[in-house]
Structure 1
Amino acid sequence: MNTLLSIETRNKVLLTMATLLDEEREAIISINKKDLDAYNGNDISMFDRLKADDAKVNEMITAAKHLASQEDPVGVERFSFKHDNGMQVYNKTASFGTVLIIYESRPDVTVEAAGIAFKSGNKILLKGGKESLNSNLKIVELWHKALETHNASKDWVEYLQFNRIETQAFLENPSQKLDLIVPRGGEKLIAFVKQHATCPVIISGRGNNFVYVQKEADLQIAIDVIINGKSKISACNAVDKVLIDKNLPNKDNFIKTLISKLKEVKIEVLGDEIVAGNHNLNVIDSDAVWSEEFLDYKIVVGEISSTEKAIEMINNYSGGHSSAIITKNEIEAKLFMENVDTAAVYHNASTRFTDGGQLGLGGELAISTDKLHQRGPIGLQHLVTNKWYIFGNGQIRK
């Protein structure tokens, strides 16, 4: 059993990790290049997430330093109560225990997500994809060095080199205590984990995010938000669907401009029957396309009759991740934001901000589309459970 490390030790390990990442920067990038060169898949979003270049290493370092600077999320008092019999009752945050993170492609998860779980007082089990094995093993080596530097057991961060069959067996019958699983990846990975896990799973859900351009929209803001929404096609906060109010003034000119801007950045534009017919686009082949997360240079533009209809459509088809309304009308924005059933809702801003670092958490373990126990970006303060502390001097219940 690993006894909870003091907050001082946890912070020192994270700061040492930041230093080691900087010192070993060239080695990490070089090893990652081997993973990139060996990747023979045709998933462009997977390839994009696999990359650990100079900027990505900087992000890892920043994440480790930021985590070290944050307050301890463990032992925070949430509730207190003085019983009539004199007992003092407290409810405080507590670590889960052991957290398994199963992820595809992204070596930065080995620092950022593992760092959040570690700072929250948990033992970390990491199961990365075979495509990023070399990068992940190098980063775990640095974790072990950082832990040993501060007389902490290497067991706090463990890498599981399992194939699919071994992973399934571990999920169904863990060979060690397992309290929480966080899958980070595509729908197939998430479905696989949900099917076989025997402990709680935080679903890091799919995107398929919508932007609704209401009839009182600022058209420049609409263009900027939509284009920015496709600036990183591999991100789960990318925009895949655009709904345009049929009563938008100069609607056809706006759609023409939008299509032109999207094509400039190599985005394939599809339309519903109305938009495709009016603007010489390929029409979507079925309504099922509205449910798809593309993770590709592709977007669908459609027409809608009202804010209520936009809400209904988003709630029917979206992944429950992020949605945005572009409008100058505060009442319409409020109606949309209160009734759209997504983890993050935006008024006149890009869905690309659905990210723990961008929303003030300093980083994220995952972006949950579940409603329990946390929705949206899961940061340090969310990766805790709770525990009741009761202090007495011999009280018994009568």
Structure 2
Amino acid sequence: MTTEQEVREVAGRSRAAAAELAPLSRAEKDAALHEMADALVAASSDVLSANSLDLAAGRAAGLADGMLDRLALSPERIEGMAQGLRDVAGLPDPIGAVVRGYTLPNGLEVRQIRVPLGVVGIIYEARPNVTVDAAGLCLKSGNTALLRGSASAYHSNTALVGVLSEAAAKAGLPADAVQLVPGTDRESVTHLMRARGLVDVIIPRGGAGLIKNVVENSIVPVIETGVGNCHVYVDAAADLEMAAAIVMNSKVQRPSVCNSAETLLVHSAVAASFLPTVSSLLHEAGVTLHVDSFDLVPEGPLTVAAADVDWETEYNSLDLAVKVVDSVDEAVAHIRRWGSGHTEAIVSSDVRAIRRFSSRLDSAAVMVNASTRFTDGGEFGFGAEIGISTQKLHARGPMGLPEMTSTTYLVTGDGHVR
């Protein structure tokens, strides 16, 4: 059997399972999620053994420490993934929820209700926790999960999907509700992206290169997620102490994630009083600054000249581009030119500046006097997320359970004819 045939065969089984999964009750799905959580903890030793093979291969291949950390599992991380499944079980079921409903003058009752997307293909990089998170969110929203993790996590993902699939079947769900796409090379990814008619939507999670490849080459509909060239703008009317705290949190707390700030824009009216202070704090945290001018931030080991490439770069590291602007409009123009449409923040006490900033941007989230790090399903109160969408159709921003659904119009009559 060719790789294409293998991928299409798995996708076909996933589609058949989707028809069985869609009508299940919340109680049935929640019971399965708890069964999966318990099975995950019980199989910790087997999962860790599989993970050790991936870590050994990663070290031999020269994977960076940050990637190895993302790849590594531990008893604590496995328990955390299991708890995540239990948390998803505690969330409201979106399926069957009425988005809107009304009765027409002729007596027809019209209801728009949430239904599953169907078969959700997820292509992601070396983070085994995504395997469990995605499976749980797909199952709760009535979707089957067709998972294609990176080759670097193949053993871990195979073990995890085996545990989850067996537990789902034990709880009465179709065993094919959670499946791993066969293959470890790019060919299997290509065939998944071409399985239109079998796969309903693909969600890529990872770096810019992965997302670009999926968006440009998939003939299956794609929900674009993740690339985060996020900005913090410190306005002329900013509380500078507050601004420093927001900049530090946005950049330093967890620099490798998509909602970390990558560019700091500072109004020229406060640049002389703000930049020396915040630069010192950032340098103490090990942040390299890529600046448009050395007037306020002296050149040194952690200060370099910025080029155009810095304005468009998602560093995912302790690097921050810094630019002085003369107005809110200049800040907005810079963000609209170089930003990725993820998250932007303004620090200001000027209501007009805040309104001008927020109304003229084209991003999924705008923070007012708050860190960019709050763009997150958990922080927004969704309980969990499948990713952060930076596109405009269907879903935008953190994707919780409702965003994992489509809708159907259910029209009820009493012998009505047109």
TM-score over 0.5 (shorter chain): yes
> Which of 88, 91, 101 is 2:112 aligned to?
91
Deviation by residue 1:144-180 (Cα, 9 ceiling, x = unmatched): 2321221222100011122201221232245x71111
CA distance in 1, matches of 2:53, 2:277: 42
**Greater mean alpha carbon deviation, residues 133-142 or residues 55-64:** 55-64
User: 8 Å contact 1:107–1:132 — kept in the other structure?
Assistant: yes
Aligned to 1:102: 123
Aligned to 1:385: 406
1:278 Cα deviation after fit: 5.0
CA distance in 1, matches of 2:230, 2:314: 8
Aligned to 1:10: 29
1:27 Cα deviation after fit: 4.4
User: 8 Å contact 2:224–2:391 — kept in the other structure?
Assistant: yes
Aligned to 1:124: 145
Deviation by residue 1:189-230 (Cα, 9 ceiling, x = unmatched): 112212332221100131011111112222222222222222
Length-normalised TM-score, structure 1: 0.92
1:70 Cα deviation after fit: 1.4
User: 8 Å contact 2:215–2:222 — kept in the other structure?
Assistant: yes
TM alignment of 1:45-56, pairs within 5 A: 45-56=66-77
CA distance in 1, matches of 2:49, 2:360: 48
1:277 Cα deviation after fit: 6.9
Give the count of matched residue pairs. 393
Aligned to 1:35: 54
1:62 aligns with 2:83: yes
User: 8 Å contact 1:322–1:344 — kept in the other structure?
Assistant: yes
1:261 aligns with 2:318: no
1:66 Cα deviation after fit: 1.6
CA distance in 2, matches of 1:333, 1:18: 44
Aligned to 1:372: 393
Aligned to 2:198: 177
Distance 1:57 1:264, change over 3 A: farther
Deviation by residue 1:245-278 (Cα, 9 ceiling, x = unmatched): 1101xx3353222222222222211101355775
Hey, which bits of structure 1, 4+ residues long, moved more than 6 A?
none
SS of 1:167 mapped into structure 2:
helix
CA distance in 2, matches of 1:64, 1:173: 28
CA distance in 2, matches of 1:351, 1:13: 35
Q: What is the identity, as a one-letter code, of the residue corresponding to 1:16?
A: E
Q: Which runs of 5+ in 1 are unaligned?
A: none
1:54 Cα deviation after fit: 4.8
1:246 aligns with 2:265: no
1:347 Cα deviation after fit: 1.5
**Same amino acid, percent of matched pairs:** 33
Distance 1:357 1:41, change over 3 A: farther
CA distance in 2, matches of 1:145, 1:362: 25
**Greater mean alpha carbon deviation, residues 78-87 or residues 239-248:** 78-87
**Greater mean alpha carbon deviation, residues 189-198 or residues 89-98:** 189-198
RMSD of aligned alpha carbons: 2.1
SS of 1:108 mapped into structure 2:
helix
1:272 aligns with 2:295: no
> Which of 265, 271, 290 is 2:311 aligned to?
290
Q: Which runs of 5+ in 2 are unaligned?
A: 1-15
1:41 Cα deviation after fit: 4.5
Q: What is the identity, as a one-letter code, of the residue corresponding to 1:10?
A: K
